[in-house]
Amino acid sequence: MTEQTALTEVTGRLIEEFPGIAPAEVEEAVRAAHARFDHRPIRDFVPLFVEKHARHQLAHLHIAASA
C-alpha cells in the first residue's frame, strides 16, 4: 500500500469518526498532520502518526464545537 493510499483511508476513517466536522476540515487536519513529516526519511509509520495527530486535533475541534 502506498503512503497516499493509506492517507486516503485515514481520511475516510476520520470522516466517519467525526460526522459533526465537515469533510473538508478533516482533510485539512490530515494534510496539516502529514506536513509535519515531510522531511522524515523513514516513511513506514507516517500514516499512523498522521492519523494520531489529526484525530487529536479533530477531537479538540469536536469538543470546542460541543461546548
pLDDT tens profile 37-67:
999 999 999 999 999 999 999 999 888 877 7
Q: What mean pLDDT is predicted for residues 31-36?
A: 97
The total of structural domains in the chain comes to 1
Per-residue model confidence as pLDDT tens digits over 4-21: 999 999 999 999 999 999
Confidence at residue 9, expressed as pLDDT on a 0 to 100 scale: 98
| pTM score over 0.75 | yes
Distance CA 21, CA 18 (A): 6
Residue 40, C-alpha cell as written in the block: 522524515
Residue 25 has pLDDT above 90, yes or no: yes
Q: Identify the CA nearest to 56 among candidates 14, 7, 4.
A: 14
Output the 3-class SS for the chain. Answer: CCHHHHHHHHHHHHHHHCCCCCHHHHHHHHHHHHHCCCCCCCCCCHHHHHHHHHHHHHHHHHHHHHC
**Domain span holding position 8:** 3-66
